[in-house]
Structure 1
Amino acid sequence: MSASIGQHWKQVNKCEDLLGADFIARTFAFSGPKTQVHSTLIHHAGNPNAEKAILYVHGYTDYFFQTGLAEHFIHLGYRFYAVDLQGYGRSIRPSTPPNWCDSIEKYSQDLDIALATMKQDGVNDVVILGHSTGGLVVSTYLAHPHALPERASHYNKAFPAVSGLILNSPFLALPFPPLVLNKISWSIRALVSALPFLYLRAKKINIYSKTLHRKFGGEWDYRLDWKPAEGFDLSFHWLREIIFAQRNLANQKIDIPTLLCHSKISTIGKSTVEETQQGDGVLDVDSMQDAANRTFNNLTTASIPKGFHDLYLSHQPAQTAYLSAITDWLKQFNENQQKP
Structure 2
Amino acid sequence: MSAPIGQHWKLINDCEDLLGADFRARTFAFAGPKTQVHTTLINHLGNPSATKAILYVHGYTDYFFQAGLAEHFIQLGYRFYAIDLQGYGRSIRPSTPPNWCESLEQYGQDLDIALATMKADGVDDVVILGHSTGGLVVSTYLAQPYALPERESYYQKAFPTISGLILNSPFLALPFPPAVLKRVSWPIRILVSLLPFSYLRAKKFTLYAKTIHCAFGGEWDYRLDWKPAQGFDLSFHWLREIIIAQRNLSNQRITIPTLLCRSDSSTIGKKTVQETQQGDAVLDIDSMQAAADKTFSNLSNAVIPQGFHDLYLSQPPARTAYLSAMTSWLETQDNT
TM-score by length of 2: 0.98
- What stretches of structure 2 of length at least 5 have no aligned partner? none
- Distance in 1, Cα, partners of 2:210 & 2:3: 44
In the TM superposition, 1:170-319 aligns within 5 A as: 170-319=170-319
Q: Match of 1:265, SS?
A: coil
Give the superposition deviation at 1:150.
Answer: 11
Residue 119 of structure 1 contacts residue 159 of structure 1 at CA under 8 Å; is this kept in 2? yes
Residue 22 of structure 1 contacts residue 44 of structure 1 at CA under 8 Å; is this kept in 2? yes
Residue 23 of structure 1 contacts residue 43 of structure 1 at CA under 8 Å; is this kept in 2? yes
Residue 266 of structure 1 contacts residue 283 of structure 1 at CA under 8 Å; is this kept in 2? yes
Could you tell me which amino acid in structure 1 is paired with residue 37 of structure 2?
V
Q: Match of 2:46, SS?
A: coil
Q: Match of 1:249, SS?
A: helix
Give the superposition deviation at 1:320.
Answer: 0.1
- Distance in 2, Cα, partners of 1:309 & 1:273: 14
In the TM superposition, 1:106-125 aligns within 5 A as: 106-125=106-125
Q: Match of 1:231, SS?
A: coil
Give the superposition deviation at 1:35.
Answer: 1.1
- Distance in 2, Cα, partners of 1:142 & 1:198: 30
- Distance in 2, Cα, partners of 1:204 & 1:255: 41
- Distance in 2, Cα, partners of 1:199 & 1:98: 13
Q: Match of 1:152, SS?
A: helix
Deviation sequence 1:91-141 (CA, Å, 0-9, x none):
000000000010000000000000000000000000000000000000000
- Distance in 2, Cα, partners of 1:299 & 1:150: 30
Match in the other structure for 2:155: 155
Residue 115 of structure 1 contacts residue 159 of structure 1 at CA under 8 Å; is this kept in 2? yes
Match in the other structure for 1:72: 72
Give the superposition deviation at 1:154.
Answer: 3.0
- Distance in 2, Cα, partners of 1:331 & 1:108: 28
- Cα 1:267–1:2 change in 2 (3 A) is closer
Q: Match of 1:312, SS?
A: helix
Residue 150 of structure 1 contacts residue 156 of structure 1 at CA under 8 Å; is this kept in 2? no
Q: Match of 1:101, SS?
A: coil
Could you tell me which amino acid in structure 2 is paired with residue 251 of structure 1?
N
Q: Match of 2:158, SS?
A: coil
Tell me which stretches of 4 or more aligned residues in structure 1 moved more than 6 Å.
none
Deviation sequence 1:228-269 (CA, Å, 0-9, x none):
000000000000000000000000000010000000000000
Residue 270 of structure 2 contacts residue 276 of structure 2 at CA under 8 Å; is this kept in 1? yes
Match in the other structure for 2:11: 11
- Cα 1:150–1:266 change in 2 (3 A) is farther
Give the superposition deviation at 1:146.
Answer: 1.9
Could you tell me which amino acid in structure 2 is paired with residue 45 of structure 1?
L
Give the superposition deviation at 1:38.
Answer: 0.1
Could you tell me which amino acid in structure 2 is paired with residue 133 of structure 1?
T
Give the superposition deviation at 1:152.
Answer: 2.1
Residue 40 of structure 2 contacts residue 83 of structure 2 at CA under 8 Å; is this kept in 1? yes
- Distance in 2, Cα, partners of 1:96 & 1:42: 22
TM-score by length of 1: 0.96
Give the superposition deviation at 1:4.
Answer: 4.1
Match in the other structure for 1:104: 104
Q: Match of 1:156, SS?
A: helix
Give the superposition deviation at 1:155.
Answer: 2.3
- Cα 1:150–1:203 change in 2 (3 A) is farther
Residue 11 of structure 1 contacts residue 28 of structure 1 at CA under 8 Å; is this kept in 2? yes
Q: Match of 2:157, SS?
A: coil
Q: In the comparison of the two structures, how many residue pairs are matched? A: 335
Q: CA RMSD in A?
A: 1.5
Determine if the alignment matches structure 1 residue 50 to structure 2 residue 50.
Answer: yes
Give the superposition deviation at 1:182.
Answer: 0.4
Deviation sequence 1:293-316 (CA, Å, 0-9, x none):
000000000000000000000000
Give the superposition deviation at 1:33.
Answer: 1.7
- Distance in 2, Cα, partners of 1:155 & 1:100: 27
Give the superposition deviation at 1:151.
Answer: 8.4
Identity of paired residues, percent?
77
Moved more, 28-37 or 108-117: 28-37
Deviation sequence 1:27-53 (CA, Å, 0-9, x none):
000011221100000000000000000
Match in the other structure for 2:23: 23
Match in the other structure for 1:130: 130
- What stretches of structure 1 of length at least 5 have no aligned partner? none
